[in-house]
Amino acid sequence: MSMSSRCLRALFLVLPLLVIACDGDSGGGPAPSDNAPVVREVQPSGGPVAGNTLINVYGSGFKEGAKLFFGEQEALRVVVVNSNRIYGYTPTASSGAVDVRVVNPDNAYGTLVGGFTYEGAPSANIDQAEVLNGNVDAVSSGQPVGATVRGAVTVSGITRGTGQGGGIRAQVGFAPADAELLNPESYTWEEATYEGDSDSREADIYQGTVLLQPAIGGESREWVITMRFSIDNGATWVMADGDGSANGVSADMLRRVFISRPRVDYCKLGPDGNNGPVNVFYRPGDTTLVKVAGQVYAAGVTQGGGAGSGLVAQLGYGPADSDPSNSNAWTWVGATYKTDHGNNDEWEADLPNPGTEGTWRIAFRFSISENAWRYCDSDGVNDSNEGNLTFSLERLGTLTVGDEAPKPPIAWCKIGLDRTPPEVINYTTTQTTGLKTVYAQVHLPGVTDREGAGPGLSGQLGWGPAGEDPRTSPLWNWSTQLTFDQDNFEHNDQWKGTLSNPAINGEYRYAVRFNHDGGPIRVCDGNGVDDGGQDFELDQLGTLNVTGQPVIPRVIGYCKLGPDGNNTPETVTYTTATTPSRRVEAQVFVQGVTNEAGQGANIVGQLGWGPDGEDPTTSSQWNWSTSGEYASDIGANDVYEATLPNPGVVGSYRFAYRFQVNDGEFMYCDADGNSPNPEQSFNVDLAGTLTVTEAQALNAIDYCKLGPDGNNTPQSLAYTAGEAASHVIVAYVNVTGLTDTNEGEVAAIVGQLGWGPAGEDPATSAEWNWDTTAGFAEDFYANDRYQATLPNPGVVGSYRFAYRFQVNGGEFMYCDADGNSTNPEHGFNVDLAGSLAVSEDPDPEPTDSYCRLQSVDGTTVGSGDTVTVVGRVHIPGVTAGNGPGAGVQVQVGVGAVDANASTQAAAFTWKAAEYTGEADGEADTDEFSTTVTPAYTGDRAVSLRYSTDGTTWTYCDKDGSDVGGYTLGQQHALTVGNHAEIGYCNLQWPFEMPEGAEGGARTVYGQLWAADVTPGGGQGAGVVAELGYGPASSDPGVSGWTWVAATYLSDEGENDQYAVDLPAGVPAGTSYAYRYSLNGGPFCYGDRNDRQGSSNGFSGWDIGTVTP
């Protein structure tokens, strides 16, 4: 055999172990090449039989795309670094030495004989297994939620480097959060796939996707997700958690998926971006309605274009003093989707006109599932517990119906120059020159945006004591009128005025106020005040300090006739012989004098009276000889009192107070208060009124009344024959000149409480008993109030009771419930006397347990209508006292009319009732109640039962378990007719579903038709659709069924079609059906379309079934 010279040269150049393919080589193979690679060194030269050892091969002639072999097996993840170096990972093999061969793309190769030795090595271990996910929050209306789980695994000698480590298997798992989380058997496992290498290339990353079921019948559901890894084909597994398995697996570090039902996260009344008040005005006959907008955000629902799926929106109005979230007096109308604003949806509706004059509040509300409404005000509402985003009744809109629109309030105003806080102003007490000019800004759309002074605007500059609120305090002085100064920024007007000097040492505040055309006054602070979030703040008013040589105060700052808070002038009546007794009070304020506790120094108060029509400020006919006496402090004011004299001459008079300080001028005081402000000057029409009449021999009652003041309905009372007398009866009596002028009891008055047989006139009958003398109780304005305990006649029968009064031995006046006087039109009427019924003593309180189906509010209802059921339970020693009896469980059942609940309990659907209070008229008896909405139509029956251990039940019918036991005839008969509100609804398809159905085969469809709602394109407004499943033996409207929200799918003629998947895992034999609600109304239950749906009622024989 010959050999080429090239081969001979090569043999002389290399070690004996190096073999090069040459022409005529007895081993065969490819022809020799000038570019054949040369393998010189392998590092490391040995490794474990498990493979995956990183090997570097050094030599020359390595070309891009070359392959590396260990024996007959190709290396893994081979990389040609350059012509002199190539690396890769060993494949698995048996122990022993193997050749290392590099093969270029042209099939030329070089071999290092026995270049690598496989050795037995310890079994590989999983060093770290980690879940890379964080916790996840998801929202679902009933559809399963897909969650991708990613995990990393590190195995020495296997995962290091580029590409998938050999022999690794990964699975993704999920389990309910309440399972045994460290037990692998709690999880459902599915195979995961290789994703790639970690950034460090030390670990391999795997991923898998799981489908998680949302909450069924609840608000949220929690799942745990994880991964596990194996390097022995599943014989053993290592589970991963969030911080890796190297430090052990902890339930706290497992990752969770929280699935909640869709909810309204935020809503707002009014246009987007405008937090101002929503005000609407109608005249009673207006038919053109105003559209009102509302904004809503629901995570996962309102994002994206179009109306959020399943949203229901309503606009409402209700009484001004009511809360829309708990008042039944509100009227709600459906709103329609209008547009998107970012992630929010905007809806709108026409606000109805109530048609009668008055003031109402306006609100929006939104819901997604189960009519859980969020109520919205004008600056927005979310889950906040404080701040602007909490719900506020004050931020609701206002609807006014009347003949004239409300005067518009000032939109915004502030003290000072624009964007400048009010300056601190300092005066001396005697300063009269150099007084400061105060500027103010005001804005009212349509008024101040005109050139020059806004027409109809009026403003004042005021000052008052520090700590007094200028919006409410009468101690503020507003005598300085503001004048227009200039336009600002085309939209505002700037006004100005000179701040007057109080001339009394002290710390004051100053402010400005504006109104338009006699409308509401807005007081302004230094930051600005509006209705859109800039609230009035006392600490942002201007500060005025007055210092210097004290000046003796000589000016009354404020005074008022009569009690604080009462602006109605007092009326007093005397006779010419009446001893004066009426105490009259007044209040006075002097800056720096009455502010402190106790009587202000050098104040003179006088109570005066004079002829009606004479002005006390100028008339010499007024008498001011009565000095007022200091009585107490009220805030910064002093209170004075004096007894009003009796002029002693028949006539009409007025009375008032006047005050002076340090011999200054008197200020005259009327009932609504007076100050130096011209608008608060004295008004003689608001002085008190005193009438003096001729004294007469008083032996006649002027007026009397039976029963409480303000209640003209005769009392109706009852005793049992042996019951102790307990009813306290009151009456009122008036004798002019006695009860109106004397404090306390008038000795000359006699009051008696009498009773007698019904039908007998107490004024003439000898059968009336007048032995009970009434006692004086209290003065009540011009009347005296008497009271006495009504005797018990002790004999079964019907009686009347009344009062009578006499004075100074005169004739008795008899008194009924609407009052009596000497006027013949107001004479005594025996039909308006009180009624008293005396009955037999009741049987002794039962000592045995009993129960009763107390009431059911209806005998004929529509399918889905609400029925309220009330029951009572009496168990000696258990139901005694307030609160529910310990361990007592009460249930209401609805079933077939011909089934006896006590022997055929399974024929009824049972729902728990709640304790509502102690039974009226039955001692030691608890009352329970619940509502049911029967879905199955036809003749039905209602029953009640109770248990103390949850196992043994006592059944209760209408006449009670203690009367003849439980009987079929004493069950409550209930006829359930067709649903009335929604015109038609059904279960469209399918009517049967295999238990193992997957994908689209699990989708269930339903349709409804509602007049003026579903006809036309798109989803009908206000519709909620739900798919329910449960046993056909249970009435779906009572209990035992689970409901999931369905989503609008399409228009089918004039019907709207909805769809949702029946959740996986529902067992064979379970029934299913649809139900629909419109604007929060009763549900329409829909059975099979091929059996006419709801048009012929709803039956358990006509609903869908899950088959094996």
Element spanning 7, H or E:
helix 5-13
Least Cα distance to 1022 among 399, 34, 334 occurs for: 334
CB 1028 within 8 A of CB 1038: no
pTM equals 0.36
Do the bridges between strand 667-669 and strand 651-661 make them parallel or antiparallel, or are there none, so unpaired?
antiparallel
Q: What is the pLDDT of residue 398?
A: 93
Strand pairing partners for 862?
A: 977
Separation CA 568–CA 561 (nearest Å): 10
**Cis, bond preceding 44 (omega within 30 deg of 0):** yes
**Whole-number Cα distances in Å, 835 to 204, 246, 797, 816, 839:** 93, 88, 11, 11, 13
Q: Which residues have CB under 8 Å from 72's CB, separation 6+? A: none
Which residues on neighbouring strands pair with residue 1097, listed in sequence order? 1095
pLDDT at 300: 77
DSSP letter assigned to residue 13:
H
Low-confidence ranges of the chain (pLDDT < 70): 1-34, 121-124, 141-142, 216-219, 369-371, 696-697, 843-847
pLDDT value of position 15: 31
Partners of residue 412 on adjacent β-strands: 443, 530
User: If you write DSSP's letter for every residue of 395-460 in order, what string do you get?
Assistant: GSEEEEESSSPPPPPP-EEEESSTT-PPPPEEEETT--SSPPEEEEEEE-TTTTTSSSSPTTEEEE
- Which tokens is 511 given? 């402010």
Q: Round to the nearest angstrom and report the end-to-end CA distance of the chain.
A: 80
**Single-letter amino acid code for the residue at 818:** D
Place of tokens 């590099």: 102
Residue 6: the pLDDT is 31
What are the angstrom distances between the C-alpha of 664 and each of 112, 412, 556, 667? 126, 40, 8, 9
- Alpha-carbon distance of 968 to 973, in angstroms, equals 10
Nearest one of 855, 521, 898, 446 to 679, comparing CA atoms: 521
Q: What is the pLDDT of residue 19?
A: 34
Domains, the chain, ranges and CATH? Answer: 5-119 (2.60.40.10), 126-260 (2.60.40.650), 269-401 (2.60.40), 412-547 (2.60.40.10), 558-693 (2.60.40.10), 703-830 (2.60.40), 850-977 (2.60.40.650), 984-1107 (2.60.40)
397 closest CA partner among 376, 423, 374, 421 = 376
Q: Which two tokens stand for residue 242?
A: 């969030």
* Residue 1001 to residue 410: CA distance in whole angstroms: 63
Looking at residue 720, its pLDDT comes to 93
pLDDT value, residue 26: 35
Amino acid at residue number 143: Q
